[in-house]
Structure 1
């Protein structure tokens, strides 16, 4: 649990610190901008920025493409951003919350936990081009 929320919590602490400095410091405008910046980062790096994660077993029982991800991963965040609303057309598995999901990633990524890893139609794609996954998700309409 700590590992999943650690980066977001650190960003939130920084945002609060800069907010306090904005209220008491010499350069309030700069500190307000930094507080907002770190607050946005806290939201983006939290698990809440992604669709609800399921277990690896649940994901494999369905027919949707599976996206293996982890909180704090900038490549996962890039993929999630590019997908936009189409992200809900895919099944998401947080490898930090599900050890079986991490094992599935290691099985197709030469023993590494490289994310995002997408499995669709029996093909595994390690850190794929987000545009390719966007096309794949859009085709599921």
Structure 2
């Protein structure tokens, strides 16, 4: 779990340090720097992703209702891109953080020649590495 928060914490600490150095000369600039780096920290944190599911639970739920499963990790710009472009539809997928779930990481390595390439999206049991968000949206089952 600490691994998932390392990058956001680094962004936040850098923001605090830079803002502290520039505060005396320009408090407004320091506030903007801190705000920007705090927003970058939040964007790279697990907070912007829907509820995280374990790999086994995601497999069970996906088989039951046909939802795609997204294997991701914090700090991945491609995962963030997918999440952002899906918008509200992101809640209709199952999300597995491979840094929190070793079984999820093993699934990703198994389909990517030993690499932890994310996002890896499973639709109907077939893996798709870094698919287009529009395609992922088209694979969603109709809302209940």
With the length of structure 1 as denominator, give the TM-score of the two structures: 0.91
Q: Which runs of 5+ in 2 are unaligned?
A: none
Number of the residue aligned with 2:12: 12
Alpha carbons 2:79, 2:118 under 8 Å: kept: yes
Give aligned pairs, total.
139
Distance in 1 between the 2:16 and 2:98 partners?
29
Task: Give yes or no for the alignment of 1:76 onto 2:87.
Answer: no
Alpha carbons 1:83, 1:134 under 8 Å: kept: yes
Alpha carbons 1:18, 1:32 under 8 Å: kept: no
Distance in 2 between the 1:140 and 1:119 partners?
17
Number of the residue aligned with 2:105: 102
With the length of structure 2 as denominator, give the TM-score of the two structures: 0.89
Q: Which runs of 5+ in 1 are unaligned?
A: none
TM superposition shift of 1:22: 4.5
Number of the residue aligned with 1:140: 142
Please list every run of at least 4 consecutive aligned residues from structure 1 whose deviation after the TM superposition is greater than 4 angstroms: none
Alignment of 1:1-141 (within 5 A): 1-24=1-24, 26-63=25-62, 64-137=67-140, 139-141=141-143
